[in-house]
A = this chain, B = another copy of it.
Amino acid sequence: MRATKRIADATQASLYRIFTVAEAPDSTLGRLEQEMSQNLVGFLNNHIVASKNALTDIEQDFINPHIPEQPEFVSDHMRHLLEKLVAQSVHTSSPSFIGHMTSALPSFILPLSKLMVGLNQNLVKVETSKAFTPLERQVLGMMHNLVYQQNDDFYQNWMHSAQHSLGAFCSGGTVANITALWVARNKLLKADGDFRGVAREGLHRAMKHYGYQDLAILVSDRGHYSLKKSADILGIGQENVIAIPTDENNKIDCQKLAEKCQQLAAQNIKVLAIVGVAGTTETGNIDPLDKIAAIAQQNQCHFHVDAAWGGATLLSNKYRSLLKGIEQADSVTIDAHKQMYVPMGAGLVIFKDPASVSAIEHHAEYILRKGSKDLGSHTLEGSRPGMAMLVYASLHIISRPGYEMLINQAIEKAKYFADIINQHEDFELITRPELCLLTYRYAPKSVQAFLARNQDEEANKTVNLLLGKLTKFIQKRQREDGKSFVSRTRIEVAKYGGEKVIVFRVVLANPLTTKAILQDILEQQCQLAQESENFLPELLQQ
């Protein structure tokens, strides 16, 4: 009995220690932390192992469904994580990994993130966030200003108003898009006479009350998949997201958009929202936002811009005009964890009208009381971390001209890469960069010539299919080699009659990616293309 108590006391003491005593600087964790602090890039280079391990092999290390009955020493566990997890994770910040929208982080972000985690504020309410609430409201104001450029009075009136909000922070672009369309739906199907509004009575009764045959969301066929997800969640239905064809530059065809609006009106199908894309995920192109704005206004529907990727371009005075018309949008999605170099988990939706959020207002007894400035009364999420601090710090430390430099360089680097692809006779540029994204493929000179002169559609199709297999082969091998990474996707290509073609996709946002690295990547791909001959029979069978 006494022995049991002693053990219990000992365990209790060590539990207490866990909450009070930091790891010693010379412990495994302490040393690792110092290593990270001193040189994150070096740390990641040292610990992430380029491994050809298949996912199914890695899974073998993560199969135990039992919660441990024995505590592990922190340093033992740390070594385990290094070996099994860190070593087999993805080097998202490597300058030769140019296939992701996630890139390098400024080094001040790491200690600041630690501060954010240590403070462990909860932004749902003032009570658990205090100064973080006005800070988040200020960041929303700055981002609103970036998009809408209202005068100072506007921000003085609305930035800290309890009943208003210039936007909402959220975990990412998907939640931002859902929030925007949620606002649009609730504003369209608002209370009216006896009807108490869709928020209270639901979509079924709202549709009965308003007498629409159906609702629709219109976006180009390059729209992000999260829009279909949003339509599903909001009860509108994925099929009611109507894809409008794009032109040869991956931009929405406004003629067809306007026609579709007319068609739908004739069928008594109400257009809930038109979504403009500012930076398509696959090719980085930007829709003609000003023209879409005019069509949205004509049809009296919500105009949302999904600028999850491209929104940060507004920070560049040189390239800002690529997004002209965005200031007419009712709502805009921007991901700070993309081109604003903040870690994963920082999405934003901005609303032109500070009163928009009243359409999604929620209250409760213990928090979000009416008249409180609790941010949670206007967000989809409840408890949320203080990510706004990292955006705030980045805006101050990097500043607008710093961001402009990063963005301009990225775009110019993409143009350089497009040039060397064009100059190389065995590569074919598929989409030229408008922002810092482009797509291309390996296609030997002779094959390109064949495709150019040949009129037989079927033969061309076969060749494109083969080139697709080759692209897939090269991309996979290059990824497995672990030294560099480009991603791949399938896109419709105008010059091949709109046929879907497999291509390499690159995103050149990492400021550490050099021209030499880009040249090397092409070189490697040429070599892999040579090697592919050994796998030709295998390739052809796939």
Contact of A131 among B25, B58, B138, B231 (CB under 8 A): B58
* B-facing residues in A230-279 (Cβ within 8 Å): 231-240
- The stretch of A87-95, A287-295, A411-419, A530-538 in contact with B is A87-95
Q: Say yes or no for A444: interface residue by CB 8 A criterion.
A: no
What's the Cα separation between A224 and B141 when bound, in Å? 30
Q: Say yes or no for A229: interface residue by CB 8 A criterion.
A: yes
* Copies in the assembly, this chain: 2
Q: Using Cβ atoms and an 8 Å threshold, which residues of chain B touch A137?
A: 59, 62
Q: Using Cβ atoms and an 8 Å threshold, which residues of chain B touch A93?
A: 120
Instruction: Annotate A97-133 by CB proximity to B: 1 below 8 A, 0 otherwise.
Output: 0011010111111111111011111100011111111
What's the Cα separation between A115 and B38 when bound, in Å? 13
A399 touching B160 by the CB < 8 A rule?
no
A345 touching B385 by the CB < 8 A rule?
yes
What's the Cα separation between A451 and B44 when bound, in Å? 67
Question: Which of A25, A62, A115, A120 has the largest count of B CB atoms less than 10 A from its CB?
Answer: A120
Given A19-B107, A63-B160, A366-B505: A235 and B238 within 8 A (CB)? no
What's the Cα separation between A525 and B521 when bound, in Å? 68
Contact of A237 among B134, B200, B226, B337 (CB under 8 A): B200
Q: Say yes or no for A454: interface residue by CB 8 A criterion.
A: no
What's the Cα separation between A428 and B495 when bound, in Å? 79
B90 touching A202 by the CB < 8 A rule?
no
Q: Say yes or no for A452: interface residue by CB 8 A criterion.
A: no
Question: Which of A19, A84, A231, A393 has the largest count of B CB atoms less than 10 A from its CB?
Answer: A19
B85 touching A199 by the CB < 8 A rule?
no
Q: Chain B residue with minimal CB distance to A108?
A: B74
B119 touching A86 by the CB < 8 A rule?
yes
Q: Say yes or no for A405: interface residue by CB 8 A criterion.
A: yes
B121 touching A68 by the CB < 8 A rule?
no
Distance (Å) between the CB of A152 and the closest chain B CB? 7
Q: Chain B residue with minimal CB distance to A84?
A: B131
B120 touching A110 by the CB < 8 A rule?
no
Given A86-B115, A122-B100, A232-B199: A62 and B400 within 8 A (CB)? no
Given A85-B389, A134-B59, A235-B203: A67 and B395 within 8 A (CB)? yes
Q: Say yes or no for A45: interface residue by CB 8 A criterion.
A: no
Q: Say yes or no for A353: interface residue by CB 8 A criterion.
A: no
Q: Chain B residue with minimal CB distance to A203?
A: B235
- The stretch of A166-174, A296-304, A462-470 in contact with B is A166-174
A119 touching B389 by the CB < 8 A rule?
no
Q: Chain B residue with minimal CB distance to A228?
A: B362
What's the Cα separation between A13 and B384 when bound, in Å? 35
B119 touching A44 by the CB < 8 A rule?
yes
Q: Chain B residue with minimal CB distance to A382?
A: B174
What's the Cα separation between A146 and B66 when bound, in Å? 8
B89 touching A132 by the CB < 8 A rule?
yes
* B-facing residues in A155-181 (Cβ within 8 Å): 155-156, 159-160, 170-175, 178
Q: Say yes or no for A429: interface residue by CB 8 A criterion.
A: no
Q: Chain B residue with minimal CB distance to A20?
A: B41
Jot down 28 A-B pairs with beta carbons below 8 A, ordered by A: A16-B512, A22-B110, A33-B114, A36-B114, A36-B118, A59-B134, A62-B135, A65-B152, A67-B142, A71-B397, A81-B112, A85-B135, A85-B389, A89-B131, A89-B132, A90-B128, A102-B121, A111-B114, A114-B114, A174-B382, A198-B235, A199-B237, A203-B235, A204-B204, A233-B233, A343-B385, A345-B345, A366-B505
Closest 3 CB pairs of A and B: A235-B235, A202-B237, A203-B235
Given A30-B111, A59-B160, output 7 extra A-B contacts at Cβ < 8 Å.
A23-B37, A58-B131, A65-B144, A65-B155, A67-B145, A74-B397, A335-B383
